[in-house]
A and B are shown apart, each in its own frame.
Chain A
Amino acid sequence: MREYINSGILETYILGCATDEEAKEVLYMTEKHPDVRDALKQLETDMERIAGQMAVTPPANTWNKIEKEIDEIILRESRGPEIYRELSQKKEQNKSGPDYIDIESESTHMRVHKVWKWVLAAIFVLGKLFLGLAIYFYLESRQAKEQVQELKTELRQLKK
């Protein structure tokens, strides 16, 4: 057993660099052999004492930072399931109604697809274009009619 203790496996275990198999073995050995358990406890005490000699006092507000983080964790833990529950309940309530979408609405507004913006802009531009063409052809036609009328008058005067 002394050989096992002196192998350095306890130091490896306590520093967290033992493999899973080694860690299981150490736990098994500490349960079965009081010598190993005592050696491990002694090593833990040593580790704590060594750390005590190298201790550095934390800045005054460090605990406040940690406390704030812990409060956030607890709030997150408590809020998460609650929101989920509430959402689920709302879904359940909605499910109890009829399975179709009610398109009758009291709202005076409606939502349309964004593509309609361009369609309406195109309709507006084309409308203006056709209006301009209509005015142009109307004026052309009126002018032509006036010319025809003038020609007819000239012809009548020539016949006389």
Chain B
Amino acid sequence: MDTRLQYLQTATQLKTQAVQALYNKYAGLLLGYIVGVVNDEKQAEQYLVDTFKEVALRLEEFSKQESNEYCKLQLVARKQLSGYFETTKDCAPLNKHTTQMTLLQQQVFCGVHYHGKKTALLAAELNMTEDTVRKTLKEAFSIIRKNNGDA
């Protein structure tokens, strides 16, 4: 019984430490993204808690080295936000990056980044091909990079 308890405590500590390491590194970044989506810090905090709770359940995926941890975390956060995406139609407020974009680029970037829309849906909504949506998204990213002085 004692051995089992010790094992449980160790397992709990290890899992908690692994999640905490991710939290320390990326919580601010994720919260920034979530706040950008929901525009409410209290609600965003709850989504952040739900996101890291989900991370604890899927921790094995984060031990693989092949892809970026932040991008994986953002996908987990998007999954948590999927219910919110369905209820809102308002576009996120413009920021220093989106103000530099054309209206079409803003629609595509906000649709994908802040509303979790698939390219097929956006293409149908904007009456264009999926290829054009992808290219527009690429252009939007190029503008963001340019703003960051990287292009």
Contacts and interface: CB of A to CB of B under 8 A. Distances in A.
Interface of A: 6-9, 11-12, 14-19, 41, 43-59, 62-63, 65-67, 69-71, 73-75, 78
Given A8-B134, A51-B74, A44 B68 contact: yes
Contacts of A8: 131, 133-138
Contact of A74 (B8, B41, B70, B148): B8
B119 A17 contact: yes
A75 B5 CA distance: 11
Given A11-B134, A70-B52, 19 more contacts: A7-B134, A12-B119, A16-B78, A17-B117, A18-B119, A43-B141, A46-B141, A47-B70, A48-B29, A51-B30, A51-B32, A53-B148, A55-B32, A57-B31, A58-B27, A59-B45, A67-B16, A74-B11, A78-B11
Which applies to chain B's interface (DSSP): helix, strand, loop or mixed? helix
Given A15-B112, A66-B49, A55 B71 contact: no
A43 B145 CA distance: 10
A48 to B, nearest CB: 4
